[in-house]
Structure formats: structure tokens, C-alpha cells
Amino acid sequence: MGSLVGQLFSPGNSGYKIWEDPSIIKWRKRDAHVPLHSHESVEGSLQYWHDRSKVSILDAKSAVWDDESVAKALDFAADSVKGLPYVKSLSGSWKFFLGSSPDDVPSKFYEISFDDSSWHSLPVPSNWQMHGFDKPIYTNVVYPFPLDPPNVPEDNPTGCYRTYFSIPSKWEGRRIFLHFEGVDSAFFAWINGHPVGYSQDSRLPAEFEITEFCHALESGQRNCLSVIVMRWSDGSYLEDQDHWWLSGIHRDVLLIAKPKVFIADYFFKSSLAEDFSSADVQVEVKIDKSGSDVDNSVEAGNFFERDEDKFLSDFDIEAEIFETGNGHCSVARLQLDTCVDYHLGFLGYQLKGKLELPRLWSAEHPNLYTLVIILKDSSGCLVDCESCQVGFRQIKKAPKQLLVNGQPVMIRGVNRHEHHPRLGKTNLESCMVQDLVLMKQNNINSVRNSHYPQHPRWYELCDLFGLYMIDEANIETHGFHLSSNVKHPALEPIWAASMLDRVVGMVERDKNHACIVSWSLGNESGYGPNHASLAGWIREKDPARLLHYEGGGARTSSTDIVCPMYMRVWDIVKIAQDPSESRPLILCE
């Protein structure tokens, strides 16, 4: 695969296009996971969330709509890594060239020696159409290109990016990861001329390990990052949302430094007592030890037990829950329980504990705690530290009702696209806060992310302000309804992996957010066996939340909610009076 990627833009290649092959949706891309912060200490993690919880309402009142917003967007990207010594933002001015198709990409533009002095400068993150390159396209249902899956037009605007970065000396001996928060629609990346990865899905992260491709620190050399972005790919057939189609690296690009053995992912779960007086807490932690000397190969027999024993003799895992508004007081310590699984080179561990008299999270009272997970070596020294804010709440169905912490809730919600009149799909925190304040002022308590996972900061703010969320997968195929000659992706096995990857990526990234009460399989994408597979995976992964999907109607097995669009009042009354229908009804549009 590596040699194939290296030859893709060389004269005389076979004509094969990865971006038109639904069976290849990623290469060298790491498994999806929660945002990682790589804290230096427990105290540093608590200070980070203390600072992240300081939100300026005044800034929201003066949200920027003119050219100053471009600079504000770069500041916003850089602000996300303040207080994180092992995370670096690459936001800023990059070199940029736009070709009318991949055929126009300059030969070997990814080589260090390539002369890019004649190229334009473009801020990253941004959409290139918002800076005079190419044109934005608005469409509702009809695709902006001929419906001929998985092929895309030869006229396929292709952006080439180049930038340089240095590795901080403090990162010596650590593993380095390149993390793209959002690129539309498909892209390749190179470090110092070496291909490091390929990814699709315009609204979810892509992360690649680049340790072996970076210059040694003692060399003093800067590293060259090159990226090529195709406007259209086979993935575009799953992204037919009703909005402006814009392209490029529209969210931040990060470098993350981790130790050789590190916390790779974690899942916070809680179960409240019947009277809500206590909460049983369970945290599943995945450890990546692929950079260590411990053998990663799976052998027959008792490999798992031997590997676990070996790991636990060298390392220890701890977790604590802290109150956020009481001097960061520790309120619960979690104890290592059992090894829960071994999956794709990761060791999985489970920590358990109990919290008495938890302050519950709801839209009216968004009480948050800070979860801190610590990996220590055999001498007790901190090796790695991760954290996030969590909330204790219970989501359940009752006959024709949605219950939050045992109380029926009337959903008063809105659908929200990510869009800025000057920045396109690039985000400003002040605009997010402005939206939240406006919603709260108008008694709105819920939001549906329409129709894709949104910027990570949006979820933090919804946790903080108190807003119930339906998090929606980046899947919409509305335009297929207009053709009787093309088989629908919901029915086609060739699209199953891509659809599942988008759902898995959403859930794995966002699973620890208190605000999310429901997962959505996507929007206006028909219904078929592929959706049944998505629903089955989510229910197995996260049974504590509800499942939402309007496509195919309310009677499919893939929704826990009756969620029609544009329904007349008399039809809503009819459902409410139907004795055979016990599920809650939420008008999703």
C-alpha cells in the first residue's frame, strides 16, 4: 500500500484511484478514540479543565463576522492546546496550490526539496473556497456531481498544502502522532517525503503515527508536512447534506507526543441507584504498548493472562473523580478490577468505584466532574495522564416519555449546522457560545448536530451550558432517492464498512460527553441492512443511550424514538393516542 500511495501522482501510474474505491477508506489511520491531552501531571489536568470552563459571554456578544474572524479562527485553534505541553497546534499560514484535478498536482510536491516559493499562502484551518480558490456550492438534495458511484468527476479540485514544524526538545524519546480534526473530503499526508496515511470522512479526526518519519531532534532539522486534499471522493456520496459544500483542512491539525506505553482510549460509564443517592462508576481503559519491548503478538493458549501479568508487574493504572467547583476535591477513587479485552494490539483494563450523593447532570443543572486517569511505572512515577469532564445522569424511556434522571423531559430543540459567513465550516468559540446563549434565552434545551459530528469544543460547551444533544453520524445519501437506476448504499455491502466506520468514529470520539442523550445513524439515507448493522454495533457498545434514526420510518428496529420530519399536528396527535406505540416522539425536523 505504501508504494501504491507513493506512485499515485507519478506519471504512468495505472489510473487506479483510491478516492474512488469504497473498500479503502483509510490507510495507517489509528483506531478512533476520545480526544487525548497527554497531561504532564494530575494538577496540570485539573488546571486545564478549570481554564477550559472559563467562557466569556461578552466575547459571544461581539462575535466576529469580518476579515478579523480569520485571525480569530487561528487563535481559537491554538487556544485548545494551552496548558498541554505534549500537544502542539500546527495552525497558521501554510503554502497552498490548487489544481483542477489530481492530475494537476505538481510532481513530487511532497519532497523536502520541492520549491513552493511561488505557491499562495492559506490559513489552516480554513475552507479554500472562502479565500478565493474554487467556488462554494450549495445544494439540498441533488448531488453537485453526476450520480455515478463510486466515481467522481475528472474535474475534481485538489489542494496541495505544505508546512514545516519542529519537535520540542521536551518530546525526546516520545512517540509522535499527527492528528487532523477535520478535512473535506479525502486526503493523503506525507512527512519528509514519506507517505504516512490516507483518510476519508470530512467531519471526524484522522490520526497517524509519524515517529519513524520525523528527523531526530539532535539533527536540528525542521520536518516537512505535505497534504493533498481531493474535493470529491467516493466518501462524498455519503455526505449529501443540505448545506454549503466546502473543502480543505477546516479544523485544527495537531501533533501529540505520547510515551512508549500510553493511555490510548477510555470509556466512562455510570449506573445510578434507584433513588439516585449513589453512582457505580466503571471506566474501561485501553493501553497502547506497541512502542514497548513487550511482545505484541497473539499466541495460542494463555497469552492473554501472561501478557496482562507482565504488564501489571511493570505498570499500574489509577483513576480519580474530582469535583470541579470545590477546589478540585477528590470525591472518588477507582480501583483496577479486571482485564476486559484484547483488541487490535491494545490491552483493555477496567476500573471501578462508587460515588455517594452525586450531583446530577441535566440541562437545568449541568453539574460536571473531572475524571483523571493515571498510568504509573513500577516505581510509582507518572508515565501518562488523561482526563475529561463527565456528568452523572440517567437516560431512559417510559411509555411515550423520555426520562432524564427519572423525570419526564419535553424536548424543545433545534437542528444546528456548522457555518460561518466568513469562515465557512471553520469554527469560532465565540460563535458557538453565541448560539448557546441564544438557545438558552429562548428556552431551547436540545440540539441535533445536523447532520454530522461537529467540532470537539461544541460538545464541551454543551456539557458546560447544559444542552441535550443528538449526535449524528456523517451519513446522508438523499440524492439517491432521485434515481431508480442506482442501487442505494443502505442496501449495498460495498458501502457497509464506510458507513460503520463513520458511526464507530463518532461514538468512540464523543462517548464520554454527558450532553449526548442519543446517537443518530445519519440523516435521510434510506433504510437497509447496513443501518441494522450500525444500530446493532451502537447498542452493543453503548446501551445507556437511545438510538435515533428517521430514515425508513418509525417502525424499523434501528430507532428507539419516533422521530418524524415535518409532521402535521393532527398526525402527531394520532401517534400520541395510539395505544400500540409506547416510544417517545421527537419531531427531529
**Quick count: other Cβ atoms within 10 Å of Cβ 16?**
10
589 is known as an active-site residue: yes
- From 164, 162, 163, 161, select the one nearest 221 (Cα to Cα): 164
Q: What is the DSSP string of 543-570?
A: TTSEEE--TT-TTSTT-SSB--SS--HH
In sign, the C-alpha dihedral spanning 336, 339, 340, 342 is: positive
Burial class (CB in 10 A: 0-12, 13-18, 19+), 327: exposed
Say which residues have a Cβ less than 8 Å from residue 286's Cβ, sequence separation at least 6.
33, 263, 264, 265, 266, 343, 346, 347, 348, 349
Q: Is 229 helix (H, G, I), strand (E, B) or coil?
A: strand
In sign, the C-alpha dihedral spanning 420, 421, 424, 428 is: negative
* Contact between 391 and 367 (Cβ < 8 Å): yes
**Set of cell numbers at residue 100:** 483542477
**Set of cell numbers at residue 42:** 494530575
In sign, the C-alpha dihedral spanning 122, 473, 33, 347 is: negative
Q: Which one of the listed residues 209, 476, 524, 550 is annotated catalytic?
A: 524
Region of 431 please: left (phi>0), alpha (psi -120 to 50) or beta: alpha
Distance CA 394, CA 276 (A): 9
Known catalytic residues?
A: 524, 589
